[in-house]
Amino acid sequence: MGRYVARRLLQMIPVFIGSTLLIFCMMYALPGDPVKALWGEQSSDPAQIAALKHQLGLDQPLWQQYWHYLTGLFQGDFGTQIASQRPVSDVIAQAFPVTIRLTLFAFVFTVVVGILLGVVSGLRAEKALDRIVLIFTLLLISVPSFVLGYLFQYVFAFKLGWITPTVQDSTNWGQLLLPAIVLAALSLAYVTRLTRTSVAENLRADYIRTAVAKGLPRRRIVGVHLLRNSMIPVVTFLGTDIGSLMAGAVVTEGIFNVPGVGNAVFEALNRREGSTVVGIVTLIVIVYLLASLLVDLLYAVLDPRIRYA
């Protein structure tokens, strides 16, 4: 088990280097000059552009730039932003906690509500309640998140006046509630449907019949035997979902004005801030890797027949 984890962690190193190289090359290949664009549509000065590029090392060939970036990275230096001259690590340190808070909130919401709804409707498959849940989740899946965002804003901020339309303080959990729900809505629907199908199917499995025949209490049958075996597809989904929740919050962050990771990447891309994009995206890649490792380990917990050595 320990060796397995160590091997997986070691495998992350080449993936890490490969992904930074790939993103670095992509940023390099993008048309558009970040230094020239600083002058916008106004007059500019070729001598000053050249001087600035030289200072930033942007006049070097790609491999040299990448080498500098990588050596800097291993010394804990993520580089410096072109326009603001702020260290990229500052930008990351500011954006990530906000997004992690938001993601965690959304994730907990997804897990708790999604699994609960899934189990309830799975146990009552093909009954009225099940139908209602299915229609409700279908609605969540088909409504784009920005529609939901604006709808919530309108109802809760303007009609009911419970909250301010945007997040004023991103360290305040109460204010993050609404964006978290909007962010979680889609995953919630998927988790519910996955759980429901899985539960409904396993309910007809032999081992459940055996458990019932043995005279086990219903709570134990559902809580342990049924749920544990039904969780594998759900956990797989949740593992990848945590990554996409972190990276894919651009729209929700925009509507509720949350200064998170999605926003930071979007802006950096627009301004061609190469090192910022590479830094943030690489961190997201790592989050994905760790999440998938966690999922694999959880398989062993859920199904003792799966073993790693």
Partner 1 sequence: MRGAKTMQWSALAAAVALAATACGGGSGGGGGSAAGKPAGYVSIDVTEPQKPLIPGNTNETQGAYVINSLFTGLVEYDAAGKLRNANAESITTDDSKTWTVKLKKGWKFHNGEDVTAQSYVDAWNWFANIKNNQQNSFWFEDVKGYDDVHPAKGDPKSDKMSGLKVEDDHTFKIELTHPVSYFKYKLGYYTFTPLPKGFFKDPKKYGQEPVGNGPYTFEKWTHKKLIQVKAWKGYKGDNKAKNKGIQFKNYSSYEAAYQDVLSNTLDISPQVAPKDLPKRKSDFGDRAIDQPFAATQSIAPAFYSKTFKDVDPKVLQGLSMAIDRKTITKTVLNETRVPATGFMPPLVKGYQKVDTDIFKYDPKKAKELIKEGGGVPGNKVWIQYNADGGHKEWVSAVCQSIRKATGVECVGDSKPDFQTELDARDADQVKSFYRSGWTADYPLNVNFLKELYATNAQTNYGKFSDKEIDGLFKKGDNAKDLDATIKIYQEAERKLAQKMPAIPLWDYAANVVHSDSVGNVKVNFRGDVILSDVTAK
- CA-CA distances (angstroms) from residue 78 to 65, 153, 250? 13, 37, 22
Which range, of 13-21, 58-66, 188-196, 301-309, touches partner 1 by CB under 8 A? 301-309
- Does residue 236 bind partner 1 (CB under 8 A)? no
Comparing C-alpha atoms, which of 5, 2, 57, 10 is closest to residue 34?
A: 57
- Does residue 57 bind partner 1 (CB under 8 A)? no
- Does residue 44 bind partner 1 (CB under 8 A)? yes
From 60, 165, 208, 286, residue interacting with partner 1 (rule: CB under 8 A): 165
Q: What does DSSP assign to residue 160?
A: S
Tokens matching residue 204: 């007809």
| CA angle (3, 287, 87) in 5-degree steps | 120
- Does residue 9 bind partner 1 (CB under 8 A)? no
- Cβ of residue 200: shortest distance to partner 1, in angstroms? 25
- Does residue 80 bind partner 1 (CB under 8 A)? no
CA distance 161 to 149: 16
- Does residue 164 bind partner 1 (CB under 8 A)? yes
Site map for partner 1, 83-112, x if CB under 8 A? xxxx---xx--xx-----x--xx--x----
Q: Which are the contacts of 73, defined by CB distance < 8 A and separation ≥ 6?
A: 20
CA distance 247 to 11: 23
Q: Percentages helix, strand, coil for the chain, rounded to the nearest 5?
A: 75, 0, 25
**Interface with partner 1 by CB under 8 A: which residues?**
1, 30-34, 36-48, 51-52, 55, 83-86, 90-91, 94-95, 101, 104-105, 108, 153, 157-158, 164-166, 168-169, 171-175, 253-259, 263-264, 267, 270-272, 297-298, 300-301, 304, 307
